Amino acid sequence: YETLRAHAEQGGWGALITRLDPPHNGSKLLLLDTGKTEGTLGDPFLDRRFAAEARECLSRGVSKTLFLEGIRCFVETFGPPSTLLVVGAGHVAMPLVSLAKIVGFKTIVVDGRPRFASRERFPDVDRLEVGIPSEIVKSIALTPVTALVLVAHDYKYDLPVLRHALASKAGYIGMLGSTRRGNAILNLLREEGVPEDLLTRIRVPIGLDLGAQTAPEIALAILAEILAERTGATGMPISRKVREGKR
């Protein structure tokens, strides 16, 4: 754990793979994103199989139980916290940041209007930036554990930010707005020559279908979709998954 925590503090990622089944239950294999490994699960073949699958967990920043070759192992990932980057400091941004903080996200809010991007409105945000959003976003590393949410409702903000985000490794890109507005944005990017496979990365309308109406409800729907995307989950009710034999 000490090695993993120290590596994470330096911005790196690592995983601790713990075997859950006998005869070597409790044995551990440490994997760093540098390729370094320590320990063993009791068999070199299993070490390679689980290390390969654990790298996928590292790329998404998720911890999970894996079942391979008749053996269960728990993969616990360590790394920098997931980041929520919100462009636009409107009424949905406030509860979205508050909820994200509760579940452990590092939060950043960017807006060109000082009266909106204020500590009075966002007392708990980790980083508050006032200025031209597209320029500020370019200075922020967009990684697979970064969720970028656009709530600015302004074409002059949205388009340049989206162009930059689509060229990045951001794990989630979403934009608040109606289907009509979303299609208009997508068509503008399409006319610029942005490939369809990149356009599909933009979630618009944003969020899971929770029947959300109020700003806090919309924020919850957005965060739920971000979490589902991060973990590779479906977002469907667990009870339905059980009935349909999917869990």
Q: How confident is the model at residue 206 (pLDDT cuts 50, 70, 90)?
A: very high
Mean pLDDT (whole number) for 139-164: 91
The answer to whether residue 238 sits within a structural domain is: no
- Helix H or strand E encompassing 146: strand 146-150
Say whether both 88 and 62 belong to one domain: no
Residue 217 CB partners (closer than 8 Å, separation 6+): 210, 211
Question: pLDDT for 191-205, tens place per residue?
Answer: 999 999 999 999 999
For residues 36-57, give the mean pLDDT.
Answer: 93
User: Would you say residue 244 has pLDDT above 80?
Assistant: yes
In a shared domain, residues 119 and 15: no
Asked if the structure places residue 245 within a domain, the reply is no
Q: Which residue has the higher pLDDT, 152 or 74?
A: 74
Give Rg (Cα) of the chain. 20
**171 with 144: CB under 8 angstroms?**
yes
- Domains: count for the chain: 2
Q: What percent of the chain has pLDDT over 90?
A: 74
Please tell me whether residues 212 and 110 are part of one structural domain.
Answer: yes
CATH number for the domain spanning 153: value is 3.40.50.720
Q: How far is CA 5 from CA 11, 59, 203, in A?
A: 10, 17, 33
Residue 242 lies in a domain: no
Confidence band, pLDDT 50/70/90 cuts, at residue 8: confident
Domain that holds residue 46: 2-78
Per-residue pLDDT at 149 exceeds 90: yes
Angle at 131 between CA 127 and CA 137, to 5 degrees: 65
User: What are the φ and ψ backbone dihedral angles of 12, each rounded to 5 degrees?
Assistant: -95, 170
Spatial distance between the Cα atoms of 241 and 247, rounded to a whole number of angstroms: 6
pTM of the model: 0.81
pLDDT value for 216: 97
